[in-house]
Amino acid sequence: MLQNAEQTDVLSRIPGPLLQWYGKNARILPWRDAPTPYRVWVSEIMLQQTRVTAVMPYYERFLRALPSPAALAAVPDDRLMKLWEGLGYYTRARNLKKAAQMIVEQFHGDLPASFDALLSLPGIGSYTAGAVASIAFGIPVPAVDGNVLRVISRVLASRADIADAKTKQHVETALSAVMPRDCAGDFNQALMELGATVCLPNGQPLCEKCPLAGLCRAHKENLTGELPVKTSKKKRRIEARTIFVILNEGQVALKKRAGTGLLAGLWEFPCADGALSTGEAREYLRQNGITLEEITPLAPAKHIFTHIEWHMTGYLVKAAAQTGGFTWCTLAGLKQSHALPSAFRAYTKIAERELKSPGN
């Protein structure tokens, strides 16, 4: 591990080759065109824990529907959730709206050109505040995410745990000292780009393509497979659930989840805790007011959240009537107005297929 003075010396030599590489190799991404504060902010929130390829189809559609903080602040929750449907981590969308309302009320409808003010908004931490401040406003503050932590850990051959908040704070401080004041946004994006496309995780960096290979101690000492150091996550809790796709007269039964907790306020198919057998499923439906005409087991499905893993048993149900206190939704409603989380993607596809069938 390098001492502080040596670290500063190494890091001070990063900007030149890094920015030259970025100028030639930066990916063409929609949020890099006309990087207004609002566009940068929306992109950064969408990109949290989500791959670029997954975000691309959502980004422009979201901006067309909600082109400004004022439009975002006023959008009905169901509409917002439908625009976000499939991206996951729905708290991000809720915090976007809360922040937009603060922007309208406290900052006259424009994102504030201040790192500290950005940090005061819901859903914005030091990374997002740094990204928006530097890219949209040219403020020389670092934006340190997992990609940047990996790059710097390898360049310095640091064994500090990147899951530790103190490590991130140390890297932020170190980068602040060497950041070029006239192109802070490009510098931050270049570091993120390098981590995303060259200095890859899991011991597979493309060192032969890296502009920092000559400075990188991990590369010189053959340590890229060992770095960065990151404490392992807690083991996910497994939850068994049974999902019912219940159809009647060209409509499918839905219900809204509770307003707090996992997937709060989103629509879902009727479901039960545990993996119910067909007999148990029949009894559950009877107790919930559904008169069966037909019940067919579906293939099992799985969905992984950050700390929980759902193992799902499914049933396709033909009901005699629209009972049970559910909301009954047409195919058009399923596609246009009712947001179902990606956790139910396998069952949503089945519902759409069945609703298209002439017999339904």
Q: Give the residues across from 245 on adjacent strands.
A: 316
DSSP letter (8 states) at residue 342 = G
The answer to whether the beta carbons of residues 318 and 249 sit under 8 Å apart is no
Catalytic residue among 6, 44, 239, 294: 44
| End-to-end C-alpha distance for the chain, whole angstroms | 67
Task: Copy the structure tokens of residue 305.
Answer: 């959240």
In degrees rounded to 5, what are phi and psi of residue 20?
Answer: -65, -45
44 counts as catalytic? yes
Task: Copy the structure tokens of residue 8.
Answer: 């500063």
**Around 134, how many Cα atoms within 13 Å sit in the side-chain half-sphere?**
26
Task: Copy the structure tokens of residue 100.
Answer: 């937009």
The answer to whether the beta carbons of residues 360 and 283 sit under 8 Å apart is no
**CB neighbourhood size of 208 (10 A):** 8
The DSSP line for 69-83 is: HHHHHHS-HHHHHHH
The answer to whether the beta carbons of residues 230 and 154 sit under 8 Å apart is no
In this structure, which amino acid lies at residue 309? E
- Tell me the angle at which helices 184-197 and 15-25 cross, rounded to the nearest 10 degrees: 70
> Distances from the Cα of 278 to the Cαs of 117, 275, 296, 336, in angstroms?
55, 10, 8, 32
> Distances from the Cα of 237 to the Cαs of 89, 279, 309, in angstroms?
17, 27, 6
The answer to whether the beta carbons of residues 163 and 231 sit under 8 Å apart is yes
Task: Enumerate the active-site residues.
Answer: 44
